[in-house]
């Protein structure tokens, strides 16, 4: 009887959703169906993959099991729906033409690093793709950067400019080939080509482009390389002169550069790496990973990442990079092809114009880049991947929301901008857009919003933005809200930070939010950044904060941390305080006198509670760093001074006190600064001061959370804000909170810095209207 049932024929009608297009899914289905002798068809629609298969019940069951458990490497299945009916009598199994359905959408695959099979081909002299820099297959290569609309088919990508040759077409049409329906499929006969030109755009005569480019790099030249999502600037990372020249030309005096290293075993020559870090480096996403740098033993120039313990390292992720790295035989600096703070250049003419004066040569190609796409940056903490910059390999893959969302556009922060568009249970956070401080980046921001709206068929019902009215994204939000007659919801910066952390951890119940960052606009008009919030997705109450201190000159105090140090010293300490005996006494006496007056008379001195500024100020007070040429440089330099190994004995901290003002517990810092001033005057080592400051801030956090927990009963703490990129502080704080029996949530999938803000904004905007807050009835 059972046997009879198993042999009876049935038809299964299957829907598959997720990243299932452009990743070799239909050939996989075809092979699987053929293997089980099932007939029917598979096709892409703009919403999903549809499959009908018929055959023996037992074969259908096994087909479905393998479909779910063994998909191609780049596929990500979110949902499989199956219904059964009577067989339709299909004679064979076919791949049907794609169908575009109105208002449907699908997930789009990120660009993926070159797979092993393709790598083998480009290094095999007998292969027809030997040394061909645009080799790819369904398991690897460009996706998001070339797609203009859905469904994902060649005519809707920038590859439509290239007509496949006979051999490529055969591969493309052969369901058993690895290149079946690989939209960017190409070969030396029919695909994109590389060209090496000089700074004037004149072709460089050579027989082998890679050999010539490598020769130039080894001679110390800077080459602009058109990569996957835009141009990169490359130079020999072991040549200090080249690195310095690149810094000078790019107007980037000390912000660290990332390096590309040929192989994992080469990485080990320069850095200490854990298994988790190797796995991340070698993953299909192949991001930049911050690794512990053995800079004394490494041949990589110190100038690549001055004063830092960590080096941003990535492996080659396109055939072009593999071929170039192999030829050069040394690690290359590989940094975004832009002048500081502009968006990355993506087109040939644009690069020749904008990178003029920076690059000596240009390695160009003629495969169009539709979307700009920077390298992603990650670190591994406690064996988990932590996102610092989310772009290549990750975006536009969405974050899953634990609820069905309205269609919302959240415009994000001004620095490290990303935006977020929501639909259903998907939050599409854009790739890293950059600092929205100039017209070029704003244009990039607006174009990318339009691309995401089109790809994912989203028409926003609500516009969210930061509370800061002067942020460019906030101004954009206000403008389009008026133009489209949509509600505009400004969201407080730190509320958004913490909600972003809650959502990616699936936490809905109230938390104590600890938001430490550099600058965020507060509801009282002050600059917040050292905040303890009792909150949920709907609302928040500020229940604790670091004491307000004057920030002499406002933004000037961010770039010049000594101004901030003076803000703490003259703002908090007794009137008779003088700089005598401190390294800062050597600063220009006229300037410090003017700043002192500015502070005492409160002229252009906005108030701030920022923890980022606290670290900056201590860095300056110790004489370590007086100016920051990149965001948080002083604070980062101070973090780097702390010893790597320290005992677990009695924790020594600086003194501080709590004071309650209008229901808010304020952390008073006068005693802390007096103590540090004494230590600096007494010549205590900066490393000791640094560690003690980190421990103090961690202990303040634990004590404050314990007080709040006593009042509210809340035992969940979420940590967010750019300050938690500080690995030492993150570790000391999470350890301390866990020892005090708190459940601690930190970021993994989205950055704790302002790059993660848009997600929080979108979620808050979704719930703002409803009145179901758990803590604020």
Q: Which residues bind Zn ion (CB under 5 A)?
A: 115, 118, 137, 139-140, 165, 168, 187, 189-190
Cβ proximity to Zn ion, 177 vs 715, nearer residue: 177
Give me the least distance between CB of 114 and Zn ion, in Å please. 6
Cβ proximity to Zn ion, 187 vs 260, nearer residue: 187
Q: What tokens does 410 get?
A: 């959240």
Cβ proximity to Zn ion, 28 vs 36, nearer residue: 28
115 φ/ψ sector (left φ>0, alpha ψ -120 to 50, else beta):
beta
Cβ proximity to Zn ion, 168 vs 364, nearer residue: 168
Using N-to-C axis directions, what is the helix angle for 561-572 and 611-621, rounded to 10°? 100
* CA–CA dist 675, 654 (Å, integer): 7
Give me the least distance between CB of 320 and Zn ion, in Å please. 14
Give me the least distance between CB of 65 and Zn ion, in Å please. 26
CA distance from start to end of the chain = 61
Secondary structure (3-state) at 298: coil
Q: Which residues of 341-376 are buried (b: 16+ CB within 10 A; e: fewer)?
A: ebbbbbebeebbebbeebbbbbbbbebbbbbbbbbb
Cβ proximity to Zn ion, 393 vs 553, nearer residue: 393
- How many CB atoms are closer than 10 A to CB 12? 20
The residues pairing with 664 across neighbouring beta strands, listed in sequence order, are 661
Give me the least distance between CB of 26 and Zn ion, in Å please. 17
- How many CB atoms are closer than 10 A to CB 56? 18
Q: Exposed, middle or buried by CB within 10 Å (0-12, 13-18, 19+), for 564?
A: buried
Cβ proximity to Zn ion, 187 vs 708, nearer residue: 187
Q: Within 13 Å of residue 268, how many CA atoms lie on the same side as its CB?
A: 6
* CA–CA dist 724, 511 (Å, integer): 17
Give me the least distance between CB of 696 and Zn ion, in Å please. 51
* CA–CA dist 502, 716 (Å, integer): 10
Give me the least distance between CB of 167 and Zn ion, in Å please. 6
* CA–CA dist 632, 533 (Å, integer): 23
229, 393 Cβ separation under 8 angstroms = no
Cβ proximity to Zn ion, 113 vs 223, nearer residue: 113
C-alpha triplet 578, 723, 313: angle, nearest 5°: 120
Q: What tokens does 119 get?
A: 């790598």
Give me the least distance between CB of 81 and Zn ion, in Å please. 30
Cβ proximity to Zn ion, 165 vs 488, nearer residue: 165
Cβ proximity to Zn ion, 114 vs 545, nearer residue: 114
Cβ proximity to Zn ion, 168 vs 535, nearer residue: 168
* CA–CA dist 41, 52 (Å, integer): 5
387, 748 Cβ separation under 8 angstroms = yes
Cβ proximity to Zn ion, 187 vs 750, nearer residue: 187
Cβ proximity to Zn ion, 189 vs 459, nearer residue: 189
Cβ proximity to Zn ion, 132 vs 378, nearer residue: 132
Q: What tokens does 190 get?
A: 């029919």
640, 307 Cβ separation under 8 angstroms = yes
Give me the least distance between CB of 190 and Zn ion, in Å please. 3
Give me the least distance between CB of 182 and Zn ion, in Å please. 8
Give me the least distance between CB of 173 and Zn ion, in Å please. 13
Peptide bond into 151 cis (omega under 30): yes
Cβ proximity to Zn ion, 224 vs 228, nearer residue: 228
Give me the least distance between CB of 160 and Zn ion, in Å please. 15
Secondary structure (3-state) at 155: helix
Q: What share of the chain is helix, strand, coil (3-state, %, to 5)?
A: 35, 25, 40
- How many angstroms separate the Cα of 67 from the Cα of each of 73, 77, 448, 571? 12, 9, 34, 66
Helices (H), 661-777: 670-681, 686-712, 727-739, 757-768
Residues 6+ apart with CB under 8 A from 636: 307, 308, 726
2 φ/ψ sector (left φ>0, alpha ψ -120 to 50, else beta):
alpha
* CA–CA dist 162, 563 (Å, integer): 57
Give me the least distance between CB of 240 and Zn ion, in Å please. 36
Cβ proximity to Zn ion, 129 vs 695, nearer residue: 129
DSSP element (H, E) containing 527: strand 527-535
Give me the least distance between CB of 165 and Zn ion, in Å please. 4
Give me the least distance between CB of 169 and Zn ion, in Å please. 8
Give me the least distance between CB of 24 and Zn ion, in Å please. 10
Cβ proximity to Zn ion, 109 vs 139, nearer residue: 139
* CA–CA dist 355, 338 (Å, integer): 7
Give me the least distance between CB of 162 and Zn ion, in Å please. 8
């Amino acid at each position: 009887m059972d046997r009879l049932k198993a042999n009876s024929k049935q038809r299964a009608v299957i829907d598959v959703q997720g990243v299932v297009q452009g990743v070799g899914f239909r050939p996989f289905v075809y092979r699987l169906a053929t293997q089980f002798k099932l007939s029917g068809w598979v096709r892409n629609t703009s919403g999903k993959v549809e499959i009908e298969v018929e055959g023996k019940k037992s074969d259908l069951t096994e087909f479905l099991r393998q479909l779910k458990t063994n998909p191609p490497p780049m596929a990500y299945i979110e949902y499989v729906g199956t219904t059964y009916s009577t067989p339709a009598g299909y004679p064979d199994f076919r791949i049907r033409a794609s169908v575009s359905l109105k208002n449907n959408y699908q997930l789009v695959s990120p660009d993926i690093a070159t797979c092993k099979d393709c790598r083998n081909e480009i290094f095999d002299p007998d292969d027809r793709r030997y040394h061909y820099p645009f080799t790819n297959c369904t398991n690897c290569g460009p996706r998001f950067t070339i797609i203009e609309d859905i469904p994902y088919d060649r005519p809707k990508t920038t590859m439509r400019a290239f007509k496949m040759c006979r051999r490529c077409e055969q591969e493309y049409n052969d369901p058993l080939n690895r290149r079946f329906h690989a939209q960017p499929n190409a070969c030396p006969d029919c695909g994109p080509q590389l060209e090496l030109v000089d700074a004037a755009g004149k072709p460089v005569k050579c027989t082998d482009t890679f050999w010539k480019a490598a020769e130039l790099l080894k001679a110390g030249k800077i080459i602009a390389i058109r990569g996957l999502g835009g141009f990169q600037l490359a130079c020999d990372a072991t040549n200090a002169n080249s690195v310095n020249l690149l810094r000078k030309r790019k107007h980037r005096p000390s912000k660290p550069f990332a390096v590309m290293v040929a192989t994992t075993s080469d990485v080990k020559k320069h850095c200490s790496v854990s298994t988790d870090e190797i796995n991340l480096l070698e993953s299909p996403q192949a991001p930049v990973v911050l690794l512990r740098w053995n800079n004394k033993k490494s041949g990589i120039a110190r100038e690549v990442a001055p004063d830092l313990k960590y080096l941003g390292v990535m492996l080659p992720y396109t055939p072009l990079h593999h071929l170039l790295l192999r030829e050069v035989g040394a690690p290359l600096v590989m940094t975004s092809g832009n002048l500081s703070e502009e968006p990355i250049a993506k087109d040939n003419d644009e690069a020749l114009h904008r990178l003029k004066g920076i690059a000596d040569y240009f390695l160009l190609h003629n495969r169009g880049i539709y979307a700009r796409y920077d390298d992603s940056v990650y670190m591994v903490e406690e064996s988990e991947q932590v996102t610092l910059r989310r772009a290549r390999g990750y975006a536009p893959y969405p974050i899953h929301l634990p609820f069905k969302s309205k269609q919302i556009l959240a415009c994000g922060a001004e620095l490290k901008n990303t935006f977020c568009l929501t639909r259903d249970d998907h939050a599409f956070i854009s790739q890293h857009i950059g600092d929205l401080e100039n017209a070029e980046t704003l244009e990039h921001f607006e174009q990318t919003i339009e691309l995401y709206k089109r790809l994912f068929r989203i028409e926003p019902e609500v516009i969210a933005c930061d509370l800061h009215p002067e942020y460019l994204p906030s101004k954009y939000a206000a403008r389009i809200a008026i133009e489209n007659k949509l509600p505009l919801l400004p969201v407080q910066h730190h509320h958004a930070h913490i909600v972003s952390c809650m959502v990616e951890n699936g936490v809905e119940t109230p938390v104590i939010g600890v938001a430490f960052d550099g600058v965020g606009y507060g509801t009282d008009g002050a600059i917040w950044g050292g905040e303890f919030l009792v909150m949920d997705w709907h609302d928040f109450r500020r229940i604790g904060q670091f004491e307000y201190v004057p920030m002499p000159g406002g933004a000037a105090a961010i770039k010049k941390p000594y101004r901030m140090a003076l803000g703490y010293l003259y703002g908090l300490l007794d009137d008779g305080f003088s700089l005598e005996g401190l390294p800062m006494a050597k600063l220009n006496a006229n300037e410090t006198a003017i700043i002192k007056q500015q502070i005492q008379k409160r002229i252009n001195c906005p108030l701030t509670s920022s923890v980022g500024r606290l670290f900056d100020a201590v860095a300056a007070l110790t004489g370590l760093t007086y100016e920051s040429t990149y965001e948080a440089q002083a604070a980062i330099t101070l973090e780097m001074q702390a010893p790597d190994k320290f005992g677990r004995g009695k924790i020594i901290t600086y003194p501080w006190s709590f004071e309650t003002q209008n229901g808010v517990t304020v952390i008073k810092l006068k005693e802390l600064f007096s103590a540090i001033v004494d230590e600096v005057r007494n010549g205590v080592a900066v490393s000791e001061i640094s560690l003690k400051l980190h421990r103090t801030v961690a202990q303040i956090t634990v004590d404050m959370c314990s007080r709040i927990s006593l009042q509210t009963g809340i035992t969940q703490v979420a940590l967010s804000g750019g300050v938690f990129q500080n690995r030492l502080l993150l570790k000391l704080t999470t350890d301390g909170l866990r020892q005090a029996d708190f459940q601690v949530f930190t970021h993994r999938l989205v950055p704790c810095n302002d790059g993660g803000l848009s997600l929080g904004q979108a979620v808050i905007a979704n719930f703002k209207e409803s009145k179901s807050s758990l803590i604020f009835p």
